[in-house]
Amino acid sequence: MKTIKLVLENVSYVYNPGTIYETVGITDADLSFESEKSYAVIGHTGSGKSTLLQLMNGLLSPAKGRVLLDGEDVHAKKYKIKKLRSSVGLVFQYPEYQLFEETVIKDVCFGPKNLGYTPEESMELAKEALRLVGIEEDKFDQNPFNLSGGQKRRVAIAGVLAMNPGILVLDEPAAGLDPEGKEQILNLLKTLRETKKMGIVMVSHNMDDAAGADEVIVLDKGSIALKGSAREVFKEYEKLNGLGLDVPFAMRMTRLLRRKGIALPDCFDNEELSKVLLKMYKR
């Protein structure tokens, strides 16, 4: 996989500028994303999350500021936007709704073919991507609409992975899936980061999912309200609460037990909380 760095430098975006429908999408965003790291983007509806993802992939051009891929301005006149699209893969919410080919393998081949790969190269990239997401070879020639919801989601993600991105950007990747399907998707993202050194940027409304990221970005009305490690961000209980956001279950439980008189340190995730409670029990 490509090792890349994507930078948003003082980026702003406004919908319908100069009209009565003018709406702020993103304001003065300074952000950096790299391969091998994971990022969670959180915020209430309308906070700018989807706008941010589309700016990262070049689907939207900033009204102010620059989007830089390895130091190059992706909106410069001579820049080939396909370079950005192949380096930063975007998976929309409910990506399975975008499946359209008659077989799984043909659908996954579409992306690399569009980037200029030969049919043979596209086929190899598609097969590798499908294996990465755990789709068995006997399903390659099946109609994708005959698969389960979780399998369709993984095929759709494979279609982006076949373009060999260095950073994978996903809008609510586990939305609408049953617990098993959700677990499969989250485990897949973890595997891609650990074994393929791929950067993962995930929008999520689930604070426990966001807590597993290296960095958390909190958006509010298009602005960056908080940014830092997951532990740093989720310690800002009051500020998050004021933005209509929660904290991971383990942190909520820690605070509840402290109010009941049980002295506990801040626990960041369920595993950490379990270890602390077990240690107290053994005492």
Q: pLDDT per residue over 172-199, tens digit each?
A: 988 888 888 888 888 889 988 888 899 9
Pair (158, 266) in one structural domain:
no
- Residue 235 vs residue 218, higher pLDDT: 218
Pair (136, 265) in one structural domain:
no
What pLDDT score does 97 carry?
85
| CA quadruple 256, 257, 258, 264: dihedral, nearest 10 | -130
- Is the pLDDT at 283 greater than 80? The verdict is no
Pair (63, 199) in one structural domain:
yes
The token pair at 122 is: 């596209």
Q: What is the CATH number of the domain that holds 182?
A: 3.40.50.300
Q: pLDDT per residue over 251-280, tens digit each?
A: 888 888 888 888 888 878 788 888 888 887
Pair (243, 276) in one structural domain:
no
Q: Averaged over 95-116, what is the pLDDT?
A: 90
- Is the pLDDT at 105 greater than 90? The verdict is yes
Total structural domains within the chain? 2
The token pair at 282 is: 């053994």
Q: Averaged over 152-168, what is the pLDDT?
A: 92
Q: Averaged over 195-206, what is the pLDDT?
A: 91
What pLDDT score does 109 carry?
95
- Is the pLDDT at 107 greater than 90? The verdict is yes
Pair (186, 243) in one structural domain:
yes
In terms of Cβ atoms closer than 10 Å to its own Cβ (0-12, 13-18, 19+), residue 266 is middle
Q: Averaged over 140-156, what is the pLDDT?
A: 90
Pair (136, 267) in one structural domain:
no
Pair (78, 195) in one structural domain:
yes
- Is the pLDDT at 7 greater than 90? The verdict is yes
Pair (138, 252) in one structural domain:
no
Pair (185, 273) in one structural domain:
no
CA–CA distance, 241 with 81 (Å, rounded to integer): 39
Range of the domain at 257: 248-283
With pLDDT > 70 as the criterion, what percentage of the chain qualifies? Answer: 99
Pair (192, 238) in one structural domain:
yes
Q: Averaged over 89-115, what is the pLDDT?
A: 90
Q: How far is CA 241 from the centre of its chain?
A: 23
Instruction: Look at residue 247 and give its three-state secondary structure.
Output: coil
What pLDDT score does 1 carry?
58
Pair (160, 256) in one structural domain:
no
Q: pLDDT per residue over 59-97, tens digit each?
A: 999 999 999 999 999 999 999 988 998 899 999 888 888
DSSP structure string for 134-162: T--GGGTTS-GGGS-HHHHHHHHHHHHHT
Pair (131, 243) in one structural domain:
yes
